[in-house]
Structure 1
Amino acid sequence: MKWSATPFVRIVLALIVGILLYAYFDLSSPFWTVLCVLFSVSYVFVLYFTTPVQKRKWNFAFGLLALLATTLFGISITHQKKEIHWEQHFSNLCDSISYYEAIVSEEPQEKTNHFKIELTVKKVFCQNIWKEAKGNILLYIKKSEAKTASLKSLQYGDRLLIVGSPQATSPPPNPQQFDFQRYLANQQIYHQQFIEADKFRILGHAPPNRIVELAIQLRQKASLALQNAIHEQEEYAVVSALVLGIKDHLDNAIRSTYSHTGAMHVLAVSGLHVGILFQILTWLLAWIKKSKKYGNWIFLSIVLLCLWFYALLTGLSPSVLRAVIMFSLVALANTIQRNSSIYNTIAISAFLILCYDPYLLFSVSFQLSYTALLAIIYFQPKIFHCWHIEDSFPHMNKWLFQTIKFFWSITCVSLAAQLGTFPIGLFYFHQFPVYFLFSNLVVIPLATVIFSGSLLTLLFSWVPFLAVGIGFLVEKVVWLQNEALFFMEHLPYAVIEGIHISLGETLLIYTTILLLAMLFAFQKISYLYYAVACTVLFFISQMQEFFEQKNQAIFYIFHSGKVLNMNFLEGNQNIMLADSSLIYDDYQVRNLFYNYWSYKGVSPEKVKYFNISSLENGFPIPFYREKELVLFSYHQKKILWLLEKTEIDLPSADFLLISKNAVRDVEKLDFSKFKTIILDASNSYYNSKKLSSQAKKLGMSLYIIREQGAFIKELANDN
């Protein structure tokens, strides 16, 4: 890659720097926007009022000025996109809202117990007047048998009147848990509301964007057509995710299997799927390009029409839009026969997307898409040419040669993509799929067949018997793919879990990969020295974490709703004492605890589970139990757990944990017996508030997990 041939790479990097500066330093002052305008005007002035000789002489300075202007532009657009700063945002208009009017801005999602709906606010009623307002809300409507029909009829563009005042979203109650508040904030959603089914009314239908409405309707019809042709629910769920990006029907078992085998990317509609479609179109329409007059432009028009129609079919999801924009630019460059750098094309697509929404930079799918794509473009050809198949098998027949070449190409793509994305995977998901090479050798060919067959099913959906016939074949291919992945998932050491790396360590890995790439590209030994230095720094950081974790001893209680839990973490082992409903709920355990265990160096196999209702002498921590209470001794600390209301005189302890409303009057507690009193989330909201108020009057404090989040106490150095 020649640096001079890729100006947009420099520009998009400067834009990213601006977005990151705003995000991490909250540069929300209008000063930066003014400065951006000044730098931009200065650059335009220099561009048009200097001679060519002066431009060559001050080329570096002019380029630096352009990059600084772009960085300031990144700061400015990120600030402008942050809706909560807008004067008309409903949260800035009044403290309490009686009711409000809003438009359904995304397709409603039906969950087990509720409907989840994204809304765009139009008006709020507060201080006895209606006010024009802006902003987004995530609304949860509890299911009701009486209102089932009206709830199911909700659709994009419906205008609703809703009673009540939205509440600000809350940060995760437990450390290292998925930060749903930040995830929503990156989508400009800062408030949510939970209502009963009788607290809203449909006023009309006024879709804010007719194209989005058309896209959602197309996806719904396509989903129904696939459902009519593919009758097995599990296979249909995979197809709807793979082709349309609808993941609502995927169960946790399927998600886990695809994740553990490194095949999750086929269920996330993105560049892979658009690339398959692009290759199919290129192959089918190659004859058009041979036409002497306007052949290339006709080919381009048909390809762009098909790509953008597919984007509509997937509901204009951001990941598909990214890929469609990029492939559209590639097709356009090929048509005008401009030998532009592929890196420049990728940078242009990233620049356009980030200008539209700079917060997409923080999307995991955005990061994975671009790192995978860049790695495939750079590393795949180099890996592929490491093995010359024709030299190894000079007398091989043509069919076998092409087969080996095909699978070797897939292997190279998988290796290159994994090289580009594994640091992000470790950072966010704390796991590494060991058999990713083998799974991709299976899923990429099969996913191509499934994708093509599903498109044919949709194409012939107006001919029922033909659509059902193709759908039946697609269903069997999906079954084969699922079974292959189930088999790989249950192989020994299929996935390494519990890996934790910090942001700094992630950047060190990427720096090492970049330096090694530069070593092979420029043949300079200095890059090797720098790569080794980065590797040494990474291992020093890991060793420091290892020794800190080796000596840790932590007593902690997580917010797990009404379900009881207490944990003792020693070194790299964890003892969980909890209700059976939590112990046997693998999804909840993963959601609540896995990230924290990874952070503390505890792998899942090092966790021992004990049921609080059947605690026996085999429990590794000394304890005494008398019906409603349990007294533990851990690192010279006494921990008393009160499970139910009791008349027993409570013994002294360092920590008193109250569960299930076991105490209803805090004045009956002898505070002198306890250093810390904790109320877990199994206590009702009303009782927690009542006890907190009573304690304040007495000049005492309670740790309320429902309000303050997880209780964590380091005990290794607290004796």
Structure 2
Amino acid sequence: MHRLPMIFAALPFALGILSQRENVWIAAIFSLLVIVFRKHLKPPVTISFFVLGFAAGRVSQTSVDIPLDKKTQTIVRVTGMPQLAGKWLRSEARIISFKDSTGEWREAHAKLLLNVDSALGLQLGDTLMIEAKHYSVFDYYIIKGIVSRVYVNGYQRIGTDTALLERMILLRGILSDKFDRIETTNENRALMQALTLGDRSEINRDQRDSYSRAGAAHLLAVSGLHVGIIFAVLSFLLGWLSLLRRGRYICGVVVIVLMWVYAALTGFSPSVLRAVLMFSLYQLSLLVERDANQLNTLLGAAFVLLLINPNYILDIGFQLSFTAMLGIILLYRPIFALWRSGIWRIAAVTLAAQIAVVPLSVYYFGTLPLVGLLVNLGLWLTVPSIMVLSLLYLVSGIGFVGTTAAWLCRLQNGFVSWCASQRWIAITDIVMPLWMLAAIYGGLIIIIIILMRKNLL
């Protein structure tokens, strides 16, 4: 435990948020653990962070008293790139203020899903006065701070302006348009955009279902794998800076800055934030010439992200990406030790991540991929190549590079589509109760503890 100081902060902080949001029994279980293992868990520290997490969960809950199913005057600012969905232009928007039942204008700190008649037009950065009914949204959106959805057939535009992050979104749109110049199918272009820019808006339902059934849906969202590839490419391309005086520090700082620029370009999703923050901490540890404990770094990254936004803990993408990275850190070495070879190294990383993620994936999506390891092992050969070639095409504009990337996308999409078409590829419609999920992870934790005591981890 002394090698993992962040466990005394991150774990109780996360449990505190969950106990406030989900179930008070979590607080009772936490109290019991502190009593039983008081010699190891540093009760004053862990209890303090648990209370802090509980308070953070309470403060971060989005609550805006906008009346539902009633026309309300609202001033909003468009914060997402509008996407065409049928007759509507759809985007996220930040609520600036609304007129309550007494006719008074009230400020608000929440977001809504804005649907505007496509004939009216909509731009990123628009500030609009609208009058429309507010409808309820699913819990998935509430976690993201979105409290309602509206459908607008008319508005008054107050002004248009873009902040720095919104300009990054505009830049992402410009880069996405460059993929349209490549002569290939929409599915191939959609895959290039998803892998490099984190833009999944062009991926159709059939393509998404194929990747999910084949056990490769995680590849469609920029996460630790993709950020790791970016980190490796940047470190290689900027390695020559180390030859300069104090070049090692210059190289490290430039790599960190460019990774955060990439995170902004992909929309600051929880999985990207977690990965970029972890690689940044790892890079900083290299600069100060200290050995980085990967598990402690991951816990530190998780704690910082939850401190910034406690809602991340209920985000499925955050849970899956964090669990996958946790599995790689804890299980990769013993799995790789079974057979030390180059191809098994890649398989060991994939297997470690899947062992950790599969129970959570089955719980949420009800699908158990039976040969996900083999599918992902094959995609390890194409995904890095597609990413590197796509980014090179965006920078250089060389048509041959983009065409080659598109050909690899066609190869990968075809492989995934064939796998998904096989009846034996996955077991579907599984219903896993929460207690079973907890039991599975409890068993994994016991196994990990045993391996640690035998110095196999």
TM-score (norm 2): 0.91
Alignment of 1:460 with 2:396, yes or no, is yes
User: What does residue 161 of structure 1 align with?
Assistant: 129
Residue number in structure 2 paired with 1:185: 142
Match of 1:104 in 2: 78
Residue 283 of structure 1 deviates from its aligned partner by 2.6
Structure 2: how far apart are the matches of 1:408 and 1:307? Answer: 29
For 2:115 and 2:238, how far apart are their aligned partners in 1?
Answer: 48
Q: Distance in 2 between matches of 1:98 and 1:435?
A: 52
1:499 aligns with 2:430: yes
Asked if 1:225 is matched to 2:178, the reply is yes
Q: Give the corresponding residue for 1:284.
A: 237
Cα shift at 1:110: 1.8
Q: Distance in 2 between matches of 1:339 and 1:83?
A: 40
Question: Percent identity among equivalent residues?
Answer: 28
Give the whole-Å Cα distance in 2 for the aligned partners of 1:214 and 1:315. Answer: 11
Q: Deviations over 1:580-622 (max 9, x none)?
A: xxxxxxxxxxxxxxxxxxxxxxxxxxxxxxxxxxxxxxxxxxx
2:157 maps to 1:202: yes
Structure 2 partner of 1:74: 53
Residue identity in the other structure for 1:444: W
In structure 2, distance between residues paired with 1:159 and 1:440: 44
Tell me the secondary structure at the aligned position of residue 22 of structure 2.
helix
Query: Residue 66 of structure 2 contacts residue 100 of structure 2 at CA under 8 Å; is this kept in 1?
Result: no
**Aligned counterpart, 1:296:** 248
Which residue of the other structure, out of 376, 379, 383, is the alignment partner of 1:443? 379
- Aligned with 1:426 (options 362, 372, 378): 362
Runs of 5+ consecutive residues of structure 1 not aligned to the other structure: 33-58, 170-180, 390-404, 525-719
Question: What secondary structure is seen at the aligned counterpart in 1 of 2:323?
Answer: helix
Instruction: Supply the distance in 2 between the matched residues of 1:25 and 1:261 (Cα, whole angstroms).
Output: 34
Equivalent position of 2:450 in the other structure:
519
The one-character-per-residue Cα deviations of 1:689-713 (angstroms, maximum 9, x if unpaired) are xxxxxxxxxxxxxxxxxxxxxxxxx
Please state if 1:409 is matched with 2:345: yes
What secondary structure, in the 3-state scheme, does the structure 2 residue paired with 1:15 have? helix
Amino acid at match of 1:413: V
Equivalent residue number for residue 51 of structure 1:
none
Contact 1:187 1:359 in 2 (8 A): yes
3-state SS of paired residue (2:66): helix
* Distance in 1, Cα, partners of 2:76 & 2:110: 9
Structure 1 residue 331: Cα displacement: 0.4
Query: How far, CA to CA, are the matches of 2:350 and 2:366 in structure 1?
Result: 20
Pairing 1:261–2:214 present:
yes
Q: Hey, what's the Cα distance between the residues in 2 that align with 1:314 and 1:239?
A: 13
Cα deviations across residues 251-297 of structure 1 (Å, max 9, x unaligned)? 11111111111111111111110001111222333343355x31220
C-alpha displacement of 1:201: 2.4
CA distance in 1, matches of 2:125, 2:114: 17
Give the secondary-structure state (helix, strand or coil) at the position aligned to 2:42: helix
Structure 1: distance between partners of 2:40 and 2:412: 56
Distance in 2 between residues matched to 1:281 and 1:116, nearest whole Å = 35
On the 8 A contact 2:98/2:108 being kept in 1, the answer is no
Q: Within 2, Cα distance between the matches of 1:95 and 1:434?
A: 45
| 1:153-203 per-position Cα deviation (integer Å, ceiling 9, x unaligned) | x2332101111342344xxxxxxxxxxx211111122222233x2x32222
Deviations 1:350-396, CA, capped at 9 Å, x for gaps: 1110011101101111011111001111211211121144xxxxxxx
In the alignment, is residue 509 of structure 1 matched against residue 440 of structure 2? Answer: yes
**Residue 548 (structure 1) aligns with:** none
- For 2:159 and 2:129, the matched residues in 1 are separated by 10
Give the AA of the match of 1:217.
Answer: L
Q: Please give the alpha-carbon distance, in whole angstroms, between the structure 1 residues aligned to 2:325 and 2:151.
A: 40
More helix by share: 2
Q: TM-score, normalised by structure 1?
A: 0.59
Aligned partners of 2:99 and 2:360: how far apart in 1? 44
Q: Work out which structure has the larger RCO, using CA pairs closer than 8 Å and 6 or more positions apart in sequence.
A: 2
Q: Is 2:74–2:129's contact at 8 Å kept on the other side of the alignment? A: yes
Contact 1:212/1:316 (<8 A) preserved: no
Shift of 1:83: 2.6
How far apart in 1 are the matches of 2:136 and 2:423?
45
- The 1:333–1:167 alpha-carbon spacing in structure 2 relative to 1, beyond 3 Å, is same
Say whether residues 1:385 and 2:360 are aligned partners: no
Aligned to 1:214: 167
Gaps of at least 5 residues in structure 2 are 28-37
Counterpart of 2:134 in structure 1: which amino acid?
P
User: Given that residues 90 and 135 in structure 1 are in contact (C-alpha distance below 8 angstroms), is that contact kept between their aligned partners in structure 2?
Assistant: no
Task: State the partner residue of 1:305.
Answer: 257
* One-letter code aligned to 1:123: S
Q: What residue in structure 2 maps to residue 695 of structure 1?
A: none
Match of 1:123 among 97, 103, 114: 97
Query: Which residue is equivalent to 1:489?
Result: 420
Give the Cα–Cα distance (whole angstroms) in 1 for the partners of residues 441 and 46 of structure 2.
23
2:80 and 2:124 in contact (8 A); partners too: yes
* DSSP 3-state at the match of 2:151: strand
TM-aligned CA deviation for residue 421 of structure 1? 0.2
Conserved? CA contact 1:15–1:70, under 8 Å: yes
Q: In 2, Cα distance between the equivalents of 1:387 and 1:62? A: 36
Report deviation, 1:411: 0.9
Q: Which has the larger radius of gyration?
A: 1
Decide which moves more: 128-137 or 445-454. 128-137
Letter in 2 for 1:439: V
CA spacing shift, 1:126–1:375, aligned 2, 3 Å = closer
Amino acid at match of 1:336: V
Counterpart for residue 653 of structure 1: none
CA 522–16 in structure 1, closer or farther in 2 if over 3 Å, else same: same
Q: Compared with structure 1, are the counterparts of its residues 434 and 264 closer, same or farther at alpha carbon in structure 2 (3 Å cutoff)?
A: same
Conserved? CA contact 1:90–1:124, under 8 Å:
no
Q: Per-residue deviation at 1:142? A: 5.7
Paired residue secondary structure (2:400): helix
CA distance in 2: counterparts of 1:388 and 1:110, whole angstroms: 50
Aligned to 1:352: 304
CA shift at 1:95, angstroms?
A: 10
